[in-house]
Structure 1
Amino acid sequence: MLSHAERSALVERTDDALPLRTQADLLGLSRASLYYQPVPPSPEEVAIKHRIDTLYTAHPFYGSRKITVILNEEGVEINRKRVQRYMRDMGIAAIIPGPNLSKRAAQHRIYPYLLRNITATAPNAIWGSDITYIRLRSGWLYLVAVLDWYSRYVISWALDDTLELPFVLDAVDRALAIATPDIWNSDQGSHYTSP
């Protein structure tokens, strides 16, 4: 499927055999779009956009509300929707904090850490598992390892480029196929506490 711009480029304005109306119908274009001439921005719009850009460069965390207040204080009569439109046209947006993904799920119960002063006295008494993030040039790899606390032996591990649950379960299943520990320790992250 051709884009609107590509279809508009196919129109032959000097063709007398095929009128513009027919060409527009065949290409799925409105006739009015063939005559549209974009209006250049007014000097006022250019000045306001320049001031918005200056404010944004100095304070990239300012959003449309704050910029509107500043412009109004400077004597520029402008409303927030217009500032939003100009910012959208310029491709700028306030830098805002993202969601806090470190928070636990509301229904997840926190269990007390019972292994604070306990040491493993035999193999397969205590196992621990955790996920490590490995930075690469092309992105991230995620390593989950199941470790015997007594021998420090890696019981099983898995490596994946996504942080999805199946790769964690794969490492856990392979470890449990070898033996079953008395105590399983984890950081109670979402991969270990999801139902």
Structure 2
Amino acid sequence: MTKRSRRTHSAAFKAKVAMAAVKGERTLAELAQQFDVHPNQATEWKRQLQERAADVFGAGGTASSEPQVDLKELHAKIGQLTLENAFSYGLFLQAGRAPFSLPRSRTSTYPT
């Protein structure tokens, strides 16, 4: 018996298998054979569908469960870290050594 390589299935395929399992018109073994997946995989997709079905109608219809990102806060953090890097780089140059090299660009703000 040869070992089958790991396959990735599209979300549409998973939904199709899970919906067929929820309908219950056929056994999981029959569905697994029909869709060429393991019965445990079909059971897992069915469980995930049932757990997340309420999310479709809740939270204003948004499908994303990711938190909202504050871009201004992230840009401020990037600026802060850039300044800290430039300051550290300047201190190492004053000490006469640079233990690391920073990428230079045409608009570099690092002290020279």
Which bracket does the TM-score occupy, shorter chain normalised? under 0.3
Superposition TM-score, scaled by structure 2 size = 0.28
If asked which structure has higher relative contact order (CA below 8 Å, sep 6+), I would say: 2
- Bigger radius of gyration, 1 or 2? 1
Q: TM-score, normalised by structure 1?
A: 0.19
Higher helix share: 2
